[in-house]
Copies of this chain bind each other. A is one copy, B any other.
Amino acid sequence: MVGDRTQYDDKLDAILGVAAEVFAEKGYHNASIRDIARACGVSLSGLYYYFQSKEELLYLIQDHALGNLLSSLEERLNEVSDPEQRLRALMENHLRYFVGNMAEMKVLSREAGYLGGEFGQRVSAKKRRLTDIGTGILTELQPESDVHPRVATFALFGMMNWLYTWYHPERDVGVERLIEDMTRIFLAGYGFGSSGLEYPRGDRRGGRCQDDLVAR
């Protein structure tokens, strides 16, 4: 049987959720284990029954977020083959999960790079999987794009991950609108509808141009 969740698992998940919120509010380094214990209603030492170190706690949160993000993404992508629709699926998946799990994603975005050793490698590997999927879709969408794939990929993720800096669900536009607007910006550009954009017309061949592409 797969669904045999113990009390232990449930409580660990609850702790991860609360810890993510504390980390999101005060930052990983500013938040003490004592803060988290207080927020969880557990004693300081009681926490250590569920993880071995503060660093592992951060890892568990980040791994949990990336795991959900990835599995949900890969599920969605299995149903779509058109590159543009795949990109839309990626963005919708990412933004929806982001807004629905702000604390987790804030910790994932802001506290990146603070995990070392084994933990850091595991998180990096999953992040790499995510960005590779992004790069793959982008090069499918534009096999001969003038834009460097790595720049395009991180422009895309930067646009979305920066959310944790400014987005407030109660004050800002809803998720649907957010998805719509960002998709539009990335795919069609903010200059759509403007009269004199110079990009479309490409008669002049610039000097540097063809050395890029080919995403390895």
Is there an interface contact between A191 and B188, defined as CB atoms closer than 8 Å? yes
Answer whether residue A133 sits at the interface, using C-beta atoms and an 8 A cutoff: no
Given A184-B199, A202-B207: A84 and B158 interface contact (C-beta under 8 Å): no
Shortest distance between the CB of A132 and any CB in chain B (Å): 13
A interface, size bucket: 35 or more
Is there an interface contact between B158 and A206, defined as CB atoms closer than 8 Å? no
A203 to B145, CA, bound (A): 17
Answer whether residue A190 sits at the interface, using C-beta atoms and an 8 A cutoff: yes
Q: How many copies are assembled?
A: 2
Of A12-20, A34-42, A208-216, the segment with at least 4 beta carbons within 8 Å of chain B is A208-216
Is there an interface contact between B152 and A163, defined as CB atoms closer than 8 Å? no
A38 to B103, CA, bound (A): 36
- SS class, residues of chain A in contact with chain B: loop
Query: Which of A110, A167, A178, A194 has most B Cβ within 10 Å?
Result: A194
Is there an interface contact between B184 and A186, defined as CB atoms closer than 8 Å? no
Which 5 A-B pairs have CB atoms at the shortest separation, nearest pair first? A202-B207, A158-B162, A206-B211, A189-B189, A29-B29
Answer whether residue A161 sits at the interface, using C-beta atoms and an 8 A cutoff: yes
Shortest distance between the CB of A155 and any CB in chain B (Å): 5
Is there an interface contact between A206 and B173, defined as CB atoms closer than 8 Å? no
Interface residues of A in 131-168 (CB under 8 A from B): 138, 141-142, 144-148, 150-152, 154-163, 165-167
A155 to B186, CA, bound (A): 9
**7 A–B contacts, CB within 8 A, in A order:** A112-B165, A145-B190, A147-B181, A151-B177, A173-B212, A206-B210, A208-B211
| A178-199 interface bits toward B, Cβ cutoff 8 Å, 1 = contact, 0 = none | 1001101111111111101111
Answer whether residue A5 sits at the interface, using C-beta atoms and an 8 A cutoff: no
